[in-house]
Structure 1
Amino acid sequence: MPIKFKVIDKLMFNRYKLLIGKKELTTKSNINLEPNTYYLAEIYDSLVFKNLQADKVFAYIDYDCFELLKIAFRDDFKYTLINSLIQTNQKSDYECYKTMLFALNEDILYLPCLLEGKPILIEYRKKKNELAIYYDVFAKLSLFLNDNKILTSFSKVQKICFEYSQNVELTTYKDDFFSLSYKGNL
């Protein structure tokens, strides 16, 4: 499985101090890494990192994903979002509800919530019948339901998915989750 680690500091000569679990170590990288940033990668022999990618950071609401999924498939989901947007006092929740509402207008279910206490981002594009999930060390899994195809950016995750489907492809990570683009001033 891929692992999550934090770059603590950049040292001299392309060396970096990393925190993996509770253990600190130094390593060399040909790729420029940002200090105080979490990354995901597959580790091979002699601490060789492959498929390195920055961990996606997204705002989420403090809601269990299974409960939110039940609500999302109700007929009154849009009104539930509007009421939540009106009633929230927290700026981060307001931003999440707003993004969820705008995505819903585009026929996209955008659900940033929690699974077992960890942030998970679930996005379902109704028109294309595609599901994308960003969760922990699995990073992004894309499921193309019309073609029965799974896309992942990690070869070790690909091997796990092969147990369930023979139509699994490896791809580079692409952050194409719903995002808002504003025109004018905020």
Structure 2
Amino acid sequence: MISTLQKLAGLGSDIGHTSSSSINFNANLPVSIEVMKQIDSTRYRLKLGRKELTTKSSKNLKEGQKYWANFSEKQGGILTISALYKQPQLFEKDEYFLPLDYKHFFDSKTFSYSDFKAFLLKQLSDDSISKTLFKTLSYMLLALSKATIHLPLSHDGRKVLLQFQVQGDGTLLFYMALDHLGPLRGVLSPTELHIATMYEKSFHYLQKESPKLGMITHITLQEEISPLFDLSDIVLDLKG
């Protein structure tokens, strides 16, 4: 089942990069944006990839916050955004991600909680690690204390946040966040995969790509999807 999550995380790897010089505003998938500045009541300065632009939003946006959204270009070159959804705190900050591939943790078809915990404790005991890395590993350990595997990984310029919990019946409850698919949540068994997505564009993309997963896949639309673990769940303040 772990290999299926790896395959799911790898979907869209060919569209995971945003060009600084060319952006398709009628994109086939959601985009990740950062609010740089609020200009007036409806206009905002946004950052998309390495490009900055000004556009309107009827929804109040927070400066410094990152969102998933749909972009479109109307007649006259007016850019509009819709279906904005705030990204989890543990996804929006690049420094919370480890520059590792999933193969670093999943070198077999099984996953060991005890080995994962031992890895985290060993890394945290190293006095030479940076404050940022210490914070990231601490978040991972705190998630583990809540029976959640929290893996924020960045590889080949792509961020993927994977969280999962092993259920009593042996299935995996998982959450996954990607820049160009938005948040996903689902249940994985040895024979079937159930995925929920918030964006219709992601829904159609996953339908098209699902044969690559190698199992029966059911995809649905869901109004809101929350992570299994986020900073709001942390009692111990590690911000220092």
1:3 to partner: Cα distance: 1.7
Q: How does 1:11-160 map to 2 (within 5 A)?
A: 11-21=39-49, 23-46=51-74, 47-58=79-90, 59-70=96-107, 73-74=111-112, 76-87=115-126, 89-127=129-167, 129-146=172-189, 148-160=193-205
Contact residue 55 and residue 80 of structure 2 kept, 8 A: no
Distance 1:184 1:53 in 2: 26
1:21 to partner: Cα distance: 4.6
Unaligned 5+ residue runs, structure 2?
Answer: 1-28, 91-95, 211-215
Q: Percent identity?
A: 23
TM-score (norm 2): 0.65
1:155 to partner: Cα distance: 0.8
Q: Spell out structure 1 runs of 4+ moving beyond 4 A.
A: 21-24, 183-186
Distance 2:111 2:142 in 1: 16
Q: Deviations over 1:2-33 (max 9, x none)?
A: 12233332223422233445554433221111
1:183 to partner: Cα distance: 6.7
Alpha-carbon spacing, 1:100–1:17, altered in 2? closer, same or farther (3 Å):
closer
1:148 to partner: Cα distance: 2.9
Cross-structure match for 1:175: 226
Deviates more, 1:131-140 or 1:143-152: 143-152
Q: Secondary structure at the match of 2:107?
A: helix
Alpha-carbon spacing, 1:82–1:21, altered in 2? closer, same or farther (3 Å):
closer
Structure with bigger RCO (C-alpha 8 Å, 6+ apart): 2
Paired residue type of 2:234: S
Q: Does 1:10 align with 2:63?
A: no
TM-score (norm 1): 0.81
1:50 to partner: Cα distance: 2.5
Contact residue 196 and residue 219 of structure 2 kept, 8 A: yes
Alpha-carbon spacing, 1:181–1:20, altered in 2? closer, same or farther (3 Å):
closer
Contact residue 65 and residue 114 of structure 1 kept, 8 A: no
Deviates more, 1:121-130 or 1:2-11: 2-11
